[in-house]
Chain A
Amino acid sequence: MTRLIVDYLRELARGTVAAWDRFWFTAVDPATLSLIRILAGAMLFYTHLVWTRGLDDFLGPNSWLQPEAVRTYLNSISGEQSFAWSYFWLIDSPWQLWTVHFAGLVVFAMLTIGWHSRITSVLAWLITVSYVNRLPGSLFGLDQINGLLSMYLMLGPCGARYSVDRWSATRRLASPAALPVAASVGANIATRLMQLHMCVIYFFAGISKLQGPSWWDGSALWGAVANLEYQSIDLTWLATWPLTVAVMTHVTIAWEVSYCALVWPRLTRPIVIALAIPLHMGIAFGLGMKTFGLVMLIGNAAFISPWVVRRVIEGAGQGGAVDSQSAPPARRERAQTTAAGVAVGASTTTTVRARRPRNGASSTIG
């Protein structure tokens, strides 16, 4: 009996270490991360561009959010001296404020087009955090997702594809194929962190709702559509459609609570991600929060495999050779097996071993 337990624990330890290693330290194509760079960069740019219209009212000397009040708040949630930092505390003149603000916009624009991405991704995170830590009281979910996306973008080669960086590195070559895009552990770690963070968000958003009676009695969505301050489309006709409201309510919470489990298996992932679209588009266009709805979808994009991204953006593999990254898993395995481990494609320079997914719970981005 003891031997059985010991064997089990050994196997458990070996399996855990191997799974951990595979989950975090597999090198992947940075296509997904590069796509997220474009989308998140554009969202960061727009978010901060809008501050331009409210710069004096929110960040100027006569701000709604006076520095003493904000510091009191930050220290109160901290319990002592807060570690929330911002370079805006050092700015004391309008010209400094406007200069720093426009410099920030330039950085976000550069990140979006992928120009000096390694540097601009770090700067983008520093800038994003500086704004939000100066502005508690005016923040909402958009800022949280902006923060996490900018944080993880700086961990990987987010400018490896679809970027000015890539274009400038290959423009003197006969063909971009002469300079392959390297698979990257950094891209994997960044994308994995986005995926896990989205799971944490949906899980806690879901279970925190379970404390509210209206999520159980099916009326919660009414509370959203009957809120005039949020409303951008009048859906109050739903007052006479309680069953429809109940279905929407229950589907929403079932989806949120189950997201962190069902988004990983390959079979259920497309359904989970597909359901995110109407849910977040509903928030975007029904509740007047287009930015929040869209940024949540950008976060969900972390679950899109690089081969899908490349297939959509580049049309890779369409009727041509199947390579290791631009084919869906089933075709990829077949191709790799028949090629005896040698990746097919004129540009490929390394050998790729076929890896059979385990129990459907395969690598989500590989």
Chain B
Amino acid sequence: MPDTRQATAPAGPTTQMSPALKIVLSVLLALHVTALVVCPWSIERSPLAGRMWNLFRPYVEAAFLNHGYHFFAPQPGPSHLVRYELELTDGKKLAGEIPNLKEEQPRLLYHRHFMLTEFLNMLYGNVNGDGPVAAPPAGGDVPAANPAPRVDALAGIEAVPGRETLPPSEQAQRFLAAQQALFDAYCRSYATHLLRKYDAQRVTLRLVRHNLPYPQELAERRVKSLADASLYVELFQKSYTAEDL
């Protein structure tokens, strides 16, 4: 292995790089750093950020730089599970859920499964209107995306109490339809995996929200533990057969 007492690197504020090369590198560096900023900036759908994002889209998508960095934002929220019930070809039934810490080890593999459920919930939230609240609460993230129109009002103008809410624009309706198709595609994808893995005839998927207890509820024992049954709410359910898929 290498000798740790290695030679000293000469340092210096000046370099022998040609001015032309410096200019080219400077332009590339400036573009790259701008791209880094534009991605998270575009999350909130500013039309200006959206246009800039479109300019950088090929680069940030190809280089996997298309991130919002909204960790734990806007605030830590509930987590989500996918519960499934399978009818096997021999007539037996099998139930399970992801994520499952007992089965998915090491922890990173568990977290991959956890992200599957959070991702499905994010898509569900996009369709059902609780967008940012439904975003992955922690390590998960919202990707920068083609700027989607606000569904509830004109761009940038929130609905105000006492004022009539404008109906969704045509563009917003197209966006919603695309999000619904995307949600359906991921549900089918998860169902396909389960049906094939267990050679089952039918699978029922349930997206379940695991709400957080308030500190007072836990302190006063109104909620017995974080796994208290009252904290789980089913958001969505759908069955698929092998023929459907």
* Contacts from A to B (Cβ < 8 Å): 20-22, 24-31, 46-47, 50, 53-54, 57-58, 62-66, 68-70, 72-74, 76-80, 82-85, 128-129, 132-133, 136-142, 144, 147-148, 151, 160-164, 166-167, 170, 175-185, 189, 193, 196-197, 200-201, 204-205, 208-209, 211-215, 219-224, 226-232, 236, 238-240, 242, 245, 283, 287-292, 306, 313-316, 323-326, 343, 345, 347-350, 352-353, 355, 366
Contact = CB atoms under 8 A, between A and B. Distances in A.
A142 B197 contact: no
A292 B139 contact: yes
A200 B6 contact: no
Contact of B69 (A163, A200, A366): A200
Contacts of A193: 29, 32-33
Interface in B59-89: 59, 61-79, 81
A53 B107 CA distance: 12
A205 B70 contact: yes
Contacts of A29: 8-9, 11
A170 B105 CA distance: 42
B122 to A, nearest CB: 9
A202 to B, nearest CB: 8
A133 to B, nearest CB: 6
A229 B99 contact: yes
B92 interface: no
Given A204-B40, A229-B99, A57 B25 contact: no
Contact of B227 (A215, A228, A355): A228
A63 B113 CA distance: 12
B102 interface: no
Given A64-B189, A141-B138, A178-B7, 18 more contacts: A31-B9, A53-B106, A57-B193, A64-B190, A69-B188, A78-B146, A137-B186, A141-B139, A200-B37, A204-B70, A205-B72, A208-B69, A208-B74, A220-B72, A226-B213, A229-B81, A348-B7, A353-B13
A178 B129 CA distance: 66
Contact of A226 (B72, B110, B218): B218
B12 A350 contact: yes
Looking at B79, B108, B178, the one whose CB has the most chain A CB atoms below 10 A away is B108
A230 B77 CA distance: 11
Interface in B28-72: 29, 32-33, 36-37, 40-41, 43, 54, 57-59, 61-72
B153 interface: no
A183 B11 contact: yes
B197 A65 contact: no
Contact of B226 (A226, A289, A366): A226
B226 A231 contact: yes
B12 A183 contact: yes
Contacts of A30: 9
Contacts of A138: 112-113, 115-116, 119
A28 B178 CA distance: 50
Interface in B163-199: 178-179, 181-182, 185-186, 188-190, 192-193, 196-197
Interface residues of B, number: 98
A292 B8 CA distance: 34
B156 to A, nearest CB: 15
B74 A69 contact: no
Given A236-B218, A347-B8, A66 B188 contact: yes
Given A85-B62, A200-B37, A209-B73, A140 B136 contact: yes
A227 B79 contact: yes
Given A73-B185, A133-B64, A213 B75 contact: yes
Contacts of B115: 137-140
18 contacts: A26-B12, A27-B11, A50-B106, A50-B112, A64-B190, A66-B192, A76-B179, A77-B146, A83-B57, A138-B113, A139-B115, A140-B136, A144-B64, A180-B10, A200-B69, A212-B74, A224-B138, A348-B7
Contacts of B181: 72
A132 B7 CA distance: 39
Given A57-B193, A76-B182, A166-B2, A291 B10 contact: no
What 4 pairs between A and B have smallest CB-CB spacing?
A: A223-B76, A212-B75, A79-B146, A212-B74
